[in-house]
């Protein structure tokens, strides 16, 4: 950071946060500027001020926002994309879910990757579950539902072959245990592909959304940012209804539900945030 | 007598023994006393002179004055320039930051001084940011309160280093908050020892309350809002990576913390406060805090 950030860039950052719910802290503003730069080149726009108008005043602002969000999320999909989030799932969230379900006869964990794109996220989750199979998840069955709107992405996910970019965060141990080399690429092996069901689903399809019941956790990363406020509210309400009382909703890095939904509660986990259903407790009920 | 009570007794005795107690750094006392006068009576040269008496403190102030965390656009070259550019109050805060944190013994076996610095500075910045955003009193006061809230840790490191190291290791091993580990293994926390030092140094009453009750703001009597604010800022820092050098394995809902309800009584803006955004903003603080503290520490 060299001095205070450019006011126009801060304005664009705020527009993106207000409309899409994804936030760029000051140390990521240069990246945002770079992404805006690509769009400005495309539109032959000279200044950030002019580009900011493309996002706020011009009739095509909605389409431009989506084009910019596409630039922002390019290359976002990879295995083990958000390690603190995954660590929190394993160390804190799964124990809490298991505890909440300890008296139920059916020992089953159901996780939904909503907007799974080309499959890196659900396979990552499956690998984590496999790692816990003989530890926390002994005697538990796990089921991962992975949905996306895009059929080409789903076909890629089911083929499960990935290049070096997607697999860049893999540790040698995961690479050896759960992948088979395919030329210069890697394919997810049969074990890590088991117990995942891929299907096409439009999150705005109210009738089908009501069937995604009894979830323990939902991951919906960098998907809601493309929805307008009304659709976002409907999808979040479905998530709320689909989750079990102890359920968790995870969003993408720096993605927020602020101003979208009042029912979910924001919780802080080490290095990550999540949303829980929880009870409405009166503030000040508990001492630290 | 249990082991814990025995340790508490030992602490009190050692503190009473005076010779082991950290004294307020020599340069700070006259500087802070001078800065307490009405602003119109203050003289830039006099402040610069007082600061210059401690070369390392002066250099550290200059480092901080040039950090983006303090909103500086242009490069400040001289100490006098820093005093003019930052203003008297900021200089006082910065001098206090450096002066107090310089007292840390360099025992890297437990809590690394750099990590402690980062937590304290992070908490100061987050406290200031919350105060600004919810229009809570003087952000400078919130900054100083955030900075000094863990004064007791410095006391513990000085007076009972072995016992404190055991507590820190327990906290790390079990992934529990440091004050819980201290309570379990020593029978008292850095809040208790911080209070003793704060009183001996005759710090401002609101600072003593923050130091004493930032893990239980409901116990504070006079300055509950400020204590509550620091509780939340401290917790947010610990959950966001500006911790004591280990991860607390837990889930925190800030709205359920006692400080949240108490702070809400002092600020209606808290109801609609965007904690998610503040958490994301912390990301950029982290980089700056790391590089600033490392730079200062080398000075």
Residues in B closer than 8 angstroms to A259, CB to CB, are 274
CA dihedral B287, B288, B294, B299 (to 10 degrees): 160
Between B221 and B15, whose confidence is greater? Answer: B221
B79 pLDDT more than 90: no
Nearest chain A residue to B75 by CA: give it.
A3
Beta strands in chain A (DSSP E): 108-114, 141-148, 161-162, 179-182, 185-188, 196-200, 215-220, 243-251, 265-269, 272-276
B10 pLDDT more than 50: yes
Q: How distant is the Cα of B88 from the closest Cα of chain A, in angstroms?
A: 21
**pLDDT recorded at residue A139:** 92
A183 contacts chain B (CB < 8 A)? no
Between A195 and B271, whose confidence is greater? Answer: A195
A287 contacts chain B (CB < 8 A)? yes
Q: In the 3-class helix/strand/coil scheme, how is B183-226 assigned residue by residue?
A: HHHHCCCHHHHHHHHHHHCCCCHHHHHHHHHCCCHHHCCCCHHH
**pLDDT recorded at residue B35:** 78
Q: Do A288 and B251 touch (CB under 8 A)?
A: no
Q: How is chain B split into domains, by residue range? A: 3-22+106-298, 24-102
**pLDDT recorded at residue A288:** 39
Please give the CATH number for the structural domain made up of A7-73: 1.10.155.10
Of B67-76, B122-131, B183-192, the poorest mean pLDDT is in B67-76
The pLDDT > 90 percentage for chain B reads 40
Looking at domain A83-276, which CATH architecture does it have? 3-Layer(aba) Sandwich (3.40)
Residue of B283, B286, B291 for testing the chain A interface, max A β-carbons within 10 Å: B283
Taking residues B44-53, what's their average pLDDT?
87
Nearest chain B residue to A248 by CA: give it.
B251
B85 contacts chain A (CB < 8 A)? no
Report how far residue B71's alpha carbon sits from residue B73's, in angstroms, rounded to the nearest whole number. Answer: 6
Six-digit token pair at B35? 């800065």
What backbone torsions phi and psi does residue A3 show, to the nearest 5 degrees? 70, 180
Among candidates A27, A92, A96 on the partner chain, residue whose Cβ is nearest the Cβ of B287: A27
The owner of tokens 């499959």 is A119
Q: Do B218 and A1 touch (CB under 8 A)?
A: no
**pLDDT recorded at residue B110:** 77
B218 pLDDT more than 80: yes
Q: Do B253 and A4 touch (CB under 8 A)?
A: no
Residue B2 — very low, low, confident or very high, per pLDDT cuts 50/70/90? low
**pLDDT recorded at residue B240:** 93
pLDDT tens for B271-299 read 889 999 999 999 888 888 888 888 777 65
B152 pLDDT more than 60: yes
Residues in A closer than 8 angstroms to B241, CB to CB, are 270-271
**pLDDT recorded at residue A259:** 92
Of A73-87, B81-95, B281-295, the poorest mean pLDDT is in B81-95
Helix (H, G, I), strand (E, B) or coil at A79: coil
**pLDDT recorded at residue A284:** 41
B180 contacts chain A (CB < 8 A)? no
pLDDT tens for A15-55 read 999 989 999 998 889 999 999 999 999 999 999 999 999 99
**pLDDT recorded at residue B141:** 87
Q: Does domain B3-22+106-298 fall into CATH 1.10.600.10?
A: no
Residue A287 — very low, low, confident or very high, per pLDDT cuts 50/70/90? very low
Residue A3 — very low, low, confident or very high, per pLDDT cuts 50/70/90? low
**CB A222, CB A252: distance < 8 Å:** yes
- How many CB pairs (< 8 A) connect A and B? 117
Taking residues A144-156, what's their average pLDDT?
96
Query: Could you tell me where the DSSP H helices lie in chain B?
Result: 3-16, 28-35, 44-52, 55-65, 79-86, 88-101, 113-133, 139-148, 151-159, 161-174, 178-186, 190-200, 205-213, 224-239, 258-264, 275-298
pLDDT tens for A103-131 read 999 999 999 999 999 999 999 999 999 99
Q: Do B215 and A288 touch (CB under 8 A)?
A: yes
pLDDT tens for B164-196 read 999 999 999 999 999 999 999 988 999 998 998
B135 contacts chain A (CB < 8 A)? no
Helix (H, G, I), strand (E, B) or coil at A186: strand
Angle between helices B275-298 and B224-239 (to 10 degrees): 80
Q: How distant is the Cα of B5 from the closest Cα of chain A, in angstroms?
A: 22
**CB B147, CB B102: distance < 8 Å:** no
Helix (H, G, I), strand (E, B) or coil at A248: strand
The owner of tokens 């007598």 is B1
Within 10 angstroms of residue A65's Cβ, the number of other Cβ atoms is: 20
Chain A 8-47, residues with CB within 8 Å of chain B CB atoms: 17, 23, 25-28
A153 pLDDT more than 90: yes
Q: Do B249 and A270 touch (CB under 8 A)?
A: yes
**pLDDT recorded at residue B3:** 60
Residues in B closer than 8 angstroms to A25, CB to CB, are 280-284
**pLDDT recorded at residue B33:** 78
Q: Do A268 and B257 touch (CB under 8 A)?
A: no
**pLDDT recorded at residue A82:** 94
Determine the distance from the C-alpha atom of residue A185 to the mean position of all C-alpha atoms in its chain, rounded to a whole number: 24
Q: What is the mean pLDDT of chain A?
A: 92
Nearest chain A residue to B258 by CA: give it.
A284
The owner of tokens 């964990």 is A109
pLDDT tens for A234-253 read 999 999 999 999 999 999 99
B75 contacts chain A (CB < 8 A)? no
CA dihedral B146, B155, B262, B277 (to 10 degrees): 30
Residue A283 — very low, low, confident or very high, per pLDDT cuts 50/70/90? very low
Taking residues A163-192, what's their average pLDDT?
96
| Beta-ladder partners of A150 | none
- Residue A279 CA: distances (Å) to CA of A262, A283, B250: 12, 11, 18
Q: How is chain A split into domains, by residue range? A: 7-73, 83-276
Nearest chain B residue to A277 by CA: give it.
B253
A178 pLDDT more than 70: yes
Residue A1 — very low, low, confident or very high, per pLDDT cuts 50/70/90? very low
What backbone torsions phi and psi does residue A275 show, to the nearest 5 degrees? -120, 140
pLDDT tens for B243-274 read 999 999 999 999 999 999 999 999 988 988 99
Exposed/middle/buried for residue B271 (C-beta within 10 Å: 0-12, 13-18, 19+)? exposed
Taking residues B59-75, what's their average pLDDT?
74
Question: Angle at CA B32, nearest 5°, toward B20 and B87?
Answer: 140
Within 10 angstroms of residue A43's Cβ, the number of other Cβ atoms is: 15
């Amino acid at each position: 950071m060299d001095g205070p950030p450019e006011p126009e860039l801060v304005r664009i950052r705020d527009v993106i946060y207000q409309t899409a719910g994804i936030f760029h802290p000051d140390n990521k503003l240069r990246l945002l500027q770079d992404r805006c730069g690509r769009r400005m080149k495309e539109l032959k726009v000279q200044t950030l001020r002019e580009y900011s108008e493309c996002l706020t005043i011009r009739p095509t602002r909605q389409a431009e926002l989506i084009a910019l969000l596409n630039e922002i999320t390019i290359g976002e999909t990879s295995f083990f994309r958000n390690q603190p989030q995954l660590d929190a799932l394993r160390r804190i969230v799964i124990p809490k879910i298991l505890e909440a379900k300890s008296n139920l006869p059916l020992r089953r964990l159901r996780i939904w990757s909503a907007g799974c794109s080309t499959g890196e996220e659900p396979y990552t989750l499956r690998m984590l579950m496999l790692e816990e199979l003989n530890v926390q998840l002994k005697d538990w069955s796990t089921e991962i539902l992975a949905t996306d709107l895009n059929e080409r992405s789903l076909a890629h996910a089911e083929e499960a072959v990935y290049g070096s970019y997607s697999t860049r965060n893999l540790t040698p141990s995961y690479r050896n245990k759960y992948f088979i080399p395919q030329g210069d690429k890697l394919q997810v092996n049969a074990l890590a592909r088991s117990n995942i069901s891929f299907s096409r689903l439009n999150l705005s399809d109210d009738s089908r959304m009501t069937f995604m019941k009894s979830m323990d956790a939902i991951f919906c990363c960098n998907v809601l940012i493309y929805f307008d406020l009304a659709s976002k509210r409907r999808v979040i309400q479905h998530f709320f209804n689909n989750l079990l009382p102890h359920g968790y909703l995870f969003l993408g890095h720096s993605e927020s539900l602020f101003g979208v939904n009042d029912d979910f509660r924001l919780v802080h986990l080490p290095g990550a945030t999540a949303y829980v259903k929880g009870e409405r407790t009166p503030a000040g009920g508990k001492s630290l | 007598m249990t082991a814990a009570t025995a340790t508490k007794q030992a602490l009190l005795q050692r503190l009473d023994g005076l010779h082991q107690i950290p004294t307020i750094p020599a340069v700070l006392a006259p500087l802070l006393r001078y800065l307490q006068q009405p602003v119109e009576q203050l003289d830039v040269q006099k402040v610069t002179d007082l600061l210059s008496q401690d070369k390392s403190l002066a250099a550290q102030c200059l480092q901080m004055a040039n950090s983006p965390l303090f909103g500086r656009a242009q490069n400040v070259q001289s100490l006098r320039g820093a005093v003019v550019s930052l203003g008297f109050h900021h200089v006082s805060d910065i001098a206090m930051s450096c002066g107090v944190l310089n007292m840390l013994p360099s025992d890297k076996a437990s809590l690394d001084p750099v990590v402690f610095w980062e937590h304290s500075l992070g908490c100061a910045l987050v406290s200031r940011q919350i105060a600004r955003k919810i229009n809570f009193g003087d952000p400078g006061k919130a900054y100083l309160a955030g900075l000094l809230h863990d004064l007791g840790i410095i006391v513990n490191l000085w007076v009972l280093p072995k016992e404190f190291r055991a507590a820190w290791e327990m906290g790390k091993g079990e992934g529990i908050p440091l004050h819980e580990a201290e309570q379990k293994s020593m029978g008292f926390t850095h809040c208790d020892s911080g209070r003793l030092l704060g009183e001996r140094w005759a710090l401002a009453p609101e600072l003593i309350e923050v130091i004493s009750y930032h893990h239980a703001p409901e116990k504070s009597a006079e300055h509950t809002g400020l204590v509550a604010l620091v509780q939340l800022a401290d917790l947010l820092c610990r959950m966001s990576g500006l911790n004591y050098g280990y991860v607390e394995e837990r889930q925190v809902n800030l709205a359920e913390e006692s400080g949240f309800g108490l702070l809400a009584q002092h600020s209606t803006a808290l109801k609609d406060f965007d904690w998610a955004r503040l958490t994301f903003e912390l990301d950029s603080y982290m980089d700056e805090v790391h590089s600033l503290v490392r730079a200062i520490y080398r000075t």
